[in-house]
Amino acid sequence: MEVYWYIESLERPQSNQMQYFVVMIDYGRRGREAIVDPEITRRDVIARVASGEYENISFIHEIAGRAVDDVTDEILAEAAVPDIPADEAALEADRLDHARDLRKHETA
């Protein structure tokens, strides 16, 4: 009877499972630091990575119940700022300036 209850409890989804993230920071010779904060959400982790608060990340694990998932690549991809080459930005600004100059010198 006790064995049946145990198996049944493993099969039922737990709605109140604890979920948290572990961010492992590598300081090189000085060692590593695991940042574990049960209050931080996925959105907070992404914001901290994007802001540069978390640098030299070894891995990011999402722990939910008894499952551990490596979400390093996903979070780094979500936190990445699109890299726009300076040449493209300068070309766009030049086109806008040229269009403005043409409007200035139009005949009415």
Does a structural domain hold residue 100? Answer: no
Question: Which residue has 């914001």 as its token pair?
Answer: 47
11 pLDDT tier (thresholds 50, 70, 90):
very low
Report pLDDT digits (tens) over 63-81. 998 899 999 999 999 998 6
**36-66: b or e for each residue (b if 16 or more CB lie within 10 Å)?**
eeeeeeeeebbebbeeeebeebeebbbbeee
Does a structural domain hold residue 104? Answer: no
Does a structural domain hold residue 20? Answer: yes
Res. 105: pLDDT tops 50: yes
Does a structural domain hold residue 108? Answer: no
Domain with 78, as residue range(s), is 2-83
The total domain count for the chain is: 1
19 Cβ neighbours under 8 A, 6+ residues apart? 62, 63, 64, 65
Please give the Cα distance from 13 to 98 (Å, whole number). Answer: 62
Contact 32, 24 (CB under 8 A): yes
